[in-house]
């Protein structure tokens, strides 16, 4: 098998091997995991489907081998959470420069649920939403 191949099937530009199109070091994808997108370019998975994974948090998305991810599946990380432990749910800490706030650790502004870990041979259906801290399937070595 060609280790550099992006598309598993010739003449099918809707399905990609995800680990061939991901550049974010905080996203780890196992071999032969595929993503199908019949609406957008599946090579844009990292930008369209992995949301609120800001570098400041060091959140990880780990997906095992031989997974199938359907069109529109989203992975939503910690920064999407608005704190319920303060006087306001407004995202003041994110705009600390605008508000002249003295923020020592901006990541304390939201609840940390943890990384998203998908084991091997998992199917994630059409427009599924996977939130921070969720683990699905086996969690053995990816």
Per-residue pLDDT of the chain in tens (142 residues, 90 and over written 9): 556 899 999 999 999 999 999 999 999 999 999 999 999 999 999 999 999 998 878 899 999 999 999 999 999 998 887 777 777 777 776 777 777 766 666 666 677 789 999 999 999 999 999 999 999 998 555 5
SS (H, E, C) 17-46: EHHHCCCCCCEEECCCCEEECCCCCHHHHH
Cβ atoms 39, 70 nearer than 8 A = no
Instruction: Give pLDDT, residue 140.
Output: 57
In degrees and rounded to multiples of 5, residue 42 shows phi and psi of: -65, -20
Has residue 98 been placed in a domain? no
Has residue 100 been placed in a domain? no
Has residue 99 been placed in a domain? no
Catalytic residue among 58, 82, 112, 135: 82
pTM (2 d.p.): 0.85
Has residue 104 been placed in a domain? no
Has residue 40 been placed in a domain? yes
Has residue 63 been placed in a domain? yes
Number of folded domains in the chain?
Answer: 1
Has residue 124 been placed in a domain? yes
Has residue 53 been placed in a domain? yes
Its domain, for residue 27, covers 15-82+112-136
CATH number for the domain spanning 67: value is 2.160.10.10
Instruction: Give pLDDT, residue 86.
Output: 72
Q: Side by side, which strands form the sheet with 15-17? A: 15-17, 34-36, 68-69, 123-124
In degrees and rounded to multiples of 5, residue 63 shows phi and psi of: -125, 130
| 58 catalytic residue (yes or no) | no
């Amino acid at each position: 098998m060609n280790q550099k191949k992006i598309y598993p099937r010739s003449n099918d530009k809707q399905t990609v091997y995800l680990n061939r199109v991901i550049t974010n070091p905080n996203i780890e994808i196992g071999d032969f995991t595929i993503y199908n997108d019949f609406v957008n370019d599946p090579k844009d998975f990292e930008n369209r489907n992995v949301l609120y994974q800001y570098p400041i948090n060091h959140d990880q998305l780990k997906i095992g081998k031989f997974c199938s991810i359907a069109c529109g599946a989203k992975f939503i990380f910690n920064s999407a959470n608005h704190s319920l432990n303060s006087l306001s749910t407004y995202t003041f800490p994110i705009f600390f420069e605008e508000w002249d706030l003295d923020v020592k650790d901006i990541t304390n502004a939201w609840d940390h649920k943890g990384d998203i870990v998908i084991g091997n041979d998992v199917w994630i259906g059409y427009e599924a939403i996977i939130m921070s801290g969720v683990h699905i399937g086996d969690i053995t070595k990816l």
